[in-house]
Structure 1
Amino acid sequence: MTGIFMSFEGPDGAGKTSVLKQLIPQLKEQTAPTLLLTREPGGDPISEAIRDVILDVKNVDMDARTEALLYAAARRQHLAETVLPALSQGDTVISDRFVDSSIAYQGAGRQIGTQAVADLNQFATDGLTPALTIYLDVPVKLGLERIQTQRQDDYDRLDREQVDFHERVHQAYLEIAKNNPNRVVTVDATQPLVQVVADCLQVIKTHYPQIFERK
């Protein structure tokens, strides 16, 4: 039995954490299959340890390719330990970020090449791709303003990058969405939170009406 694999993506300040915090309880109430929410980098002890290294603000000397390799390593372990076992037993898995993040942040943001990062992650994932990706889109200026006002005590190493870095990330996400219309659905994340959550719920209902069966 094979489950359903979905991912949520978005630039910094898009509000993924806030959206998922409200969306997941609604999904668990309304859907029949077991639902697992996980995140990248992270989702298991080894990957969470790698996450701490990647995002530590003290690691300012980390090479861009080292960063990309660490993300890919965390992703492989996350798949092996968490995602693939859940999918094999028919669960619905929602990951807060997946390969698209690496292509946008390391490939475009760090300018080491989107195709090079895609190839690296092809190896790490053995070709596994989410069946559905919900991309929360927000302009760079608004996203950074949200971070500055809502996450002042929780800046990580990537949050501190210059505006041009975030512009490259945002543009890469737009290209990913444009090039993958059958997988990626864009949701306007400038709307009030309650509307963004409602839109995301409707996207999932449209794509997978079969899982919305009462337990």
Structure 2
Amino acid sequence: MTAFIIAIEGGDGVGKNTIANALAHSLRSKSKSVAVIDFPRYGDTLAGGALKQFLNGRAKRPVSAQVAAVLYALDRLEYRDEIQKAVAENDFVIFDRYVASNIAYQAAKVPGDDRSAMMDWVSNLELDIFSLPKPNLNVLLRLDVTTARDLVSQKPKRDYTSLEHDVHEADDTLQARLRENYERMADQGMPSSWTVIDVSRSGLLRTPSEICTELERRVEELGALATA
């Protein structure tokens, strides 16, 4: 068995965790075996622990985009055995953030002329050098920065930070560039196929059930529900 890999992506506050788990619940109701894996693994890996300090603003010196990219990639490399086990034993593996997050976030931190090179560098690091499995489908949850920021403020206290907004969430300029990068990656099919789903319509947030129904239609179009 080799799982169909779905990576749920998007800016902070768009509902990635909610949709990842809602999709898993729906697929399980169809008798599919599903593993949900979220990144970073703050309490499970050395790199995840370092990222926790960084996102809480506790880094002793500035962290460059390259250093951050390596830390996020190492977090997945340390967890690679668990990833491979999940892929081997399930019909579906759903990631709440995966390789595309690292590509989009780190490219958002460098000048515009350097973004393409950064995207290629991070993709090569994770998928080629570290040999992480490539997702069959990336899902971009599209939501504007202002609404997403408000939703972050409504989240309950999180295990990895005592801040209302972590270092990434607090930077609206970064969040805007991040969204540009995600749209570019989706248009280019980087690092693999995408589907884009709007989280709101006519100013109203869509329900997780509605979003999952749209997403499952795309999965079915790709033949995964029939063959998984």
Q: Tell me the equivalent position of 1:3.
A: 3
Identity fraction in percent: 20
Point out the more displaced range, 128-137 or 178-187: 178-187
1:157 paired residue among 167, 170, 188: 167
The answer for the alignment partner of 2:160 in structure 1 is none
Kindly provide the amino acid, as one letter, of the partner of residue 93 in structure 1: V
Q: Tell me, yes or no, if structure 1 residue 210 matches structure 2 residue 216.
A: no
CA contact (8 A) 2:42 2:52 kept: no
Consecutive unaligned residues of structure 1, counting only runs of 5 or more, are: none
Give RMSD over aligned pairs.
2.6
Q: 1:44 to 1:56 in 2, by over 3 A?
A: closer
- Distance in structure 2 (CA, Å) of the matches to 1:2 and 1:158: 34
Mapping of 1:1-215 within 5 angstroms?
Answer: 1-32=1-32, 34-42=33-41, 45-46=44-45, 48-59=48-59, 61-64=61-64, 65-78=66-79, 80-111=80-111, 113-126=118-131, 128-150=133-155, 154-161=164-171, 163-180=172-189, 183-190=193-200, 191-193=205-207, 194-207=209-222, 208-210=224-226
**Worse overlay, 172-181 or 113-122:** 113-122
Partner Cα distance (2:227, 2:31) in 1: 5
Change (3 A) 1:196 1:60: farther
SS in 1 for 2:57: coil
C-alpha deviation, 1:52, in angstroms? 2.4
The 3-state SS of whatever aligns with 2:165 is coil
Q: Aligned equivalents of 1:53 and 1:199: distance in 2?
A: 37
Distance 1:141-1:74 versus aligned 2 partners, 3 A rule: same
**Residue 198 and residue 54 in structure 1: after superposition, are their counterparts in 2 closer, same or farther (change >3 A)?**
farther
Higher deviation after alignment, 143-152 or 178-187 = 143-152
5+ residue gaps, structure 2, are 158-162
- 1:38 partner letter: I
Asked if structure 2 preserves the Cα contact closer than 8 Å seen for 1:54 and 1:70, the reply is: no
Residues 9-41 of structure 1 deviation map (CA, whole Å, 9 limit, x = unaligned): 011121112222333222111133x21000111
- Other structure's SS at 1:109 match: coil
Matched pairs, number: 209
Provide closer, same or farther for how the CA distance between residues 90 and 143 of structure 1 changes in structure 2, counting only shifts above 3 A.
closer
Deviation at 1:4, TM superposition (A): 1.7
Contact 2:48 2:72 (8 Å CA) reproduced: no
